[in-house]
Amino acid sequence: MTERVKLGVGPEIEVDDLPEPPSWTLKNVLKIIGPSAIVLGISIGSGEWIIGPANVLPYGPWILWIATISIIFQGILGLEMTRYTQLTGEPIFSAFLRCPPGKTFWAIFVILVTIIAEMWPAWAFGAATAVATAYLGRLPGPQDASLLVIIGVILTIIAILILSVGGIIERALEIAEWIRDC
């Protein structure tokens, strides 16, 4: 049953009933564990649980509650954004534009935040700490600063290349999904 619903400040959207979820069989569960699930697993909590334990020595083990709360909030946010997209058929950014004070404010805000996030290579250098830890077999120290810079620059360049050929990456993930569904 399709109906039109007014959500916030934007135009009405068409809402329909969701299809029945697939049954819980081993094959269907394995279909869920695809490229998107792997990306989600990598993105949630990797920095928190690598950098978090390094903070245990100077601040004590109770500091890990921050990492735990962060991981829980990231999981909830990702789940709810996915649910919104499935329910409405529109990207979550469209939902943000529907919130008061209106689409002009949120469009400018999202553009600025995105520019700051893309220009700021902290994510790549945070990941460099994780890569260096795996490579060295220990947490990097001050003596490893040049290695962290090299790895951070390499990861930044890789991220820029991936973003530059986004259509190719999207197509590769689509093909991987097709293969998984067979």
* Average pLDDT score over residue span 132-148: 91
Do 116 and 28 touch, CB atoms closer than 8 A? Answer: no
How many structural domains does the chain have?
1
Percentage with pLDDT > 70 across the chain: 74
Domain assignment present for 16: no
Closest by alpha carbon to 130, among 143, 139, 121, 117? Answer: 139
Helix (H, G, I), strand (E, B) or coil at 4: strand
Tell me how far apart the alpha carbons of residues 15 and 3 are, in angstroms, rounded to a whole number: 5
Boundaries of domain holding 134: 121-182
Query: Which two three-digit tokens encode residue 103?
Result: 């689409």
| The pLDDT of residue 43 is above 70 | no
5 inside domain: no
Whether residue 136 lies inside any domain: the answer is yes
Task: Determine whether 20 is exposed, middle or buried from the number of CB atoms within 10 Å of its CB (0-12, 13-18, 19+).
Answer: exposed
Return contacts of 68-74, CB within 8 angstroms, 24+ apart. Answer: 70/45, 71/44, 71/45, 74/43, 74/44, 74/45
Residue 174 lies in a domain: yes
135 lies in some domain: yes
Q: Which residue reads 């830890």 in tokens?
A: 133
Tell me if 11 is assigned to some domain.
Answer: no
pLDDT category, 162, cuts 50, 70, 90? low
> pLDDT value at position 182?
62
| pTM score of the predicted model | 0.48
- Write out pLDDT tens, residues 55-86: 777 888 887 787 788 778 877 888 888 888 87
Cα–Cα distance between 179 and 172 in angstroms, integer? 11
Tens digit of each residue's pLDDT (9 = 90 or more) over 91-121: 887 888 888 888 889 888 888 887 776 665 6
Q: Are 75 and 44 in contact (CB under 8 A)?
A: yes
Average pLDDT, the chain: 77
SS3 37: helix
**Residue 44 belongs to a domain:** no
Residue 58 lies inside a defined structural domain of this protein: no
